[in-house]
Chains A and B, each alone.
Chain A
Amino acid sequence: MLRIEGLEKSYGKLAVLRGVDLHVAPGEVCGLVGANGAGKTTLVAIVTGLRDAEGGSVRVAGRDALSNRPADRRAIRAMVGCAPQELGLYPTISARANLQFFGRWNGVRGRMLDRRIEEVCDALDLSDLLHRRAGDLSGGQKRRLHTALAMLHAPRLLFLDEPTVGADVVARMKLLGAVKRIASQGCAVVYATHYLAEIESLGASVAVLDGGRIRERGSLPEVVSRHGHARAELEFNGEAPGLEGWHRDGSRLWAMTADPASATAAAISRLNGQERRLRNVRIIPASLESAYLAITGHGMEEPYAAA
């Protein structure tokens, strides 16, 4: 559905995208993760036609998204939905008026529009808020309305840029459910977020954008097994003893490791009698968060315990 190859973009001397490759299939949810300023928003802006690229290619359902041909632009606009990071709604009119307008703006009319508003509002728990002015909604409610506006025309490719910012737990669950549902209907979803737990909850594939390139791409289990490390913790009565390769934090020793069982056993055997003060052993399994930190190099300062 989406094929990005060698995409490049700079702002002055600052190269934000340096040859990004990303393929997303119909029905796939792709979790796009990266630090602030990594280029996620720029990537979305280029694919949706808001910014120009300086190199590379972007194809949406086989059509050239960087082309200026009116037929390509029209076709891609009809296929793409986008909820940018910044909220985009009219605060002085009702939530319903916002939905009706953006539905029509995206080519949905008449009974179909009424039906889509009902479906999307039901999925995002907005039905009771339709009569209220958009500007009077809470931050989380505005975010859900903003997301609903992008889903109204049942796009084939949907970009959601940090859609759960400011959302409470229930709203977040509703939103994740709506994303799963639209993906199950064949929509390719690019889901940019800092909340890695959401990607795990969505069962999404992962694309890590760092240094202007996609550093890692794959299914969640693949990425975690390739780069994720478990965290092993040993807790003592009193101050923890020093141990090479392990970090001491008050009464605890901890380390990141690919093989937590062996690393823990090896550590205990090197405690030289201090194991009698050992109170608790805890192993936290490898997660996307640990994989992300390893991929981007931000976790390198943490101690690593070999088995």
Chain B
Amino acid sequence: MLRRSMSLAHTTLLLYLSDPAPLLVFILMPLGLMAFLAPASRALLVSQGYAYAGGAEQAVPGMTVMFTFFVIGVIGVQFYREQGWGTWDRLRIASGTMEILVGKIVPGLLLLVAQLAVVFAAGALLFHLHVEGSLPALVLIALAFAVCILALTMALISWCRTLDQLNVLANVLAIVLSGLGGSFAPVNQLPSWAQAAAHASPAYWALQGMRAVILEGAGMRTAASTCLALAAFAGAFALLTAVRFNAREAKVSET
């Protein structure tokens, strides 16, 4: 089973690489936005008592988290195109649903991790991000967030019949959840109702954890609690997927 799934994962990666433009956009765009947001973020952080802050401490994780949501559309399109290209049935004739899912999910996770890593690392280098706390803790939070976004992707694929539905929903969720979670400004700067609602966003937990590690020198204990919260979200999304996913459902890849 694993050999087949890895074979599909390899081909899916080839398919991503055959059209890398969307992914490149979601790597370059956040870097551009960081340049705009870093000065304002610096002023904000200094006013909050982080006198040494350069602004990257807010802008880099904020934009990284926000644009990770946009990758949902890049991953999702591969599922819908399988049906549009007629290859979904071809895969199903020769194997079970689980082998197909593993073969499609693994490259999706690799894509998310690669995008997170490149944007975070490039942002850190370009905007001189200094991490006060544990770097492995930061990596762990980023990995947990990638898994959570992958689970959200699968839930959206399960519930959206058309690619257009998925793209619209993914874009709306990217802006709402990352905005609520503190991608543009720290959550304590948001209105009180938004601060209460922020807890419902996985971006909030990821950004709170990253912020604690970057600004306050937190370590693995913070990473563990953040991962737990993100795992709860991932579990809920996986449940939504399990309730609705049907390999026989016809998906519409084109309008």
Residues of A near any B CB (own CB < 8 A): 48-51, 70, 73, 77, 80, 82, 84, 86-93, 97, 101-102, 104-107, 109, 149
With contact pairs A97-B11, A97-B14 given, residues A105 and B91 touching in the complex (Cβ less than 8 Å)? yes
Given A86-B86, A88-B85: A50 touches B11 (CB 8 Å cut-off)? no
List 15 contacting pairs A-B, 8 Å CB cutoff, sorted by A: A48-B93, A50-B92, A51-B248, A82-B93, A86-B89, A88-B85, A90-B85, A92-B18, A92-B19, A93-B14, A93-B18, A106-B94, A107-B4, A109-B3, A149-B90
Distance between Cα atoms of A92 and B85 in the complex (Å): 10
A105-B4, A106-B94 as given contacts; A93 in contact with B11, CB under 8 Å: yes
Q: Once the chains are docked, how many angstroms separate the CA of A149 from the CA of B86?
A: 13
**A89→B86 contact, CB < 8 A:** yes
The residues of B with any CB-CB pair to A shorter than 8 Å are: 3-4, 7-8, 10-11, 14-15, 18-19, 85-87, 89-96, 248
Provide the residues of chain B in CB contact with A51, threshold 8 Å: 248
B87 partner, pick from A73, A80, A89, A107, beta carbons under 8 A:
A89
Q: CA A91 – CA B3 in complex, angstroms?
A: 23
Give chain B residues whose Cβ lies under 8 Å from the Cβ of A86. 86, 89
Q: Which residues of B contact A89 (CB under 8 A)?
A: 85-87, 90
* Secondary structure class of chain B's binding surface, majority of residues: helix
| 9 nearest A-B pairs in the assembled complex, by CB-CB distance | A88-B86, A88-B90, A92-B18, A104-B7, A101-B11, A86-B86, A48-B93, A88-B87, A82-B93
A90 touches B15 (CB 8 A): yes
Q: Bound complex: CA of A70 vs CA of B8, how far in Å?
A: 21
| Smallest Cβ-Cβ distance to A48: which chain B residue | B93
Checking B11, B85, B89, B95 against A91 with a beta-carbon cut-off of 8 angstroms, the contacting residue is: B85
Residues on the A chain within 8 Å of B19, using CB? 92
Q: Are B90 and A101 in contact (CB under 8 A)?
A: no
| Contact A101:B7 (CB < 8 A) given known A84-B86, A88-B87 | yes
- B86 touching A87, Cβ below 8 Å: yes
A33 to chain B, nearest CB (A): 23
B22 → A minimal CB distance (Å): 13
What residues on B are CB-neighbors of A109 within 8 Å? 3
